[in-house]
Amino acid sequence: MFTGIITDVGEVIAVDPRAEGLRRLKIACSYEKASIVEGASIACSGVCMTVVQIGEQVGRTWFAVDAAAETLRLTTVGRWTEGSNINLERALKMGDELGGHVVAGHVDGLATLVSREDMTDMARLELRAASELTRFIATKGSVTLDGVALTVNEVAADTFSVLIIPHTLRVTTLGQLAVGDTINLEVDLMARYAARLLEAR
């Protein structure tokens, strides 16, 4: 589990296609090598991935993860290339501060940036997602975009907007977004379970 509070921005330094549609990605980060173990979970732009290798290269820690065909198809992972920047968050430990909201790292689909308004103190991003996902998004509710926990500002049909403060623009990849870009979307877990309970009735 995660909170959607980004702790580092990593860089993809190698992409290695494997058999059966698998792809191994090597990601450089600022985490201490000794703090990462094989089998650990790290959210990579919102996608919970399992560490399969750890090493150092030119004074930087790196870890490797494997992405299966389903992950490559349903998320932005399939578009990552050498040099891509990605938001990173380590898995929660008992006693950690819950600063964002509960995030599973299970991406529901993609959202496309349809407009961006840069203001003095923040940026307003308007995004479009499939209707089967936007039905779980509510004004003042929570969403996770590329691993970043955010509060929804407004919802209208198949679009929704969020306001991004300068700190978040600076320490995550959201500041690099341009109109037309697609990002990973995870809807609020509680909204999904509430909808399932209502359907079951």
41: Cβ–Cβ under 8 A, 6 or more apart, which residues?
Answer: 48, 49, 50, 51, 91, 105
pTM for this prediction: 0.93
Classify domain 109-200 by CATH number.
Answer: 2.40.30.20
pLDDT at 178 over 90: yes
What CATH number should be reported for the domain whose range is 8-90?
A: 2.40.30.20
Comparing CA positions, the residue from 26, 129, 38 lying closest to residue 81 is 26
* The pLDDT of residue 201: 67
To which residue do tokens 């190698």 refer? 14
Report how far apart, in Å, the C-alpha atoms of 176 and of each of 123, 128, 170, 179 are: 12, 18, 9, 10
What are the residue ranges of helices labelled H in the chain?
69-74, 131-134, 166-171, 189-200
Q: Would you say residue 93 has pLDDT above 90?
A: no
Q: How far apart are CA 90 and CA 43, in angstroms?
A: 6
Report the amino acid identity of residue 87.
N
Count other Cβ atoms within 10 Å, centred on residue 90.
17
The span from the CA of 185 to the CA of 50, in Å, is 19
The model's pLDDT over 16-62, given as tens digits with 9 standing for 90+, comes to: 999 888 999 999 999 999 999 999 999 999 999 999 999 999 889 99
**One fold for both 8-90 and 109-200?**
yes
Please write the tens of the pLDDT for every residue from 111-127: 999 999 999 889 999 99
Could you tell me which residues come within 8 angstroms of residue 90 by beta carbon, excluding any fewer than 6 positions away? 7, 31, 40, 42, 43
**And the tokens for 106?**
């299970």
Query: Which pLDDT score, from 0 to 100, does residue 68 have?
Result: 94
3-state secondary structure of 158: coil
All structural domains of the chain with their residue ranges = 8-90, 109-200
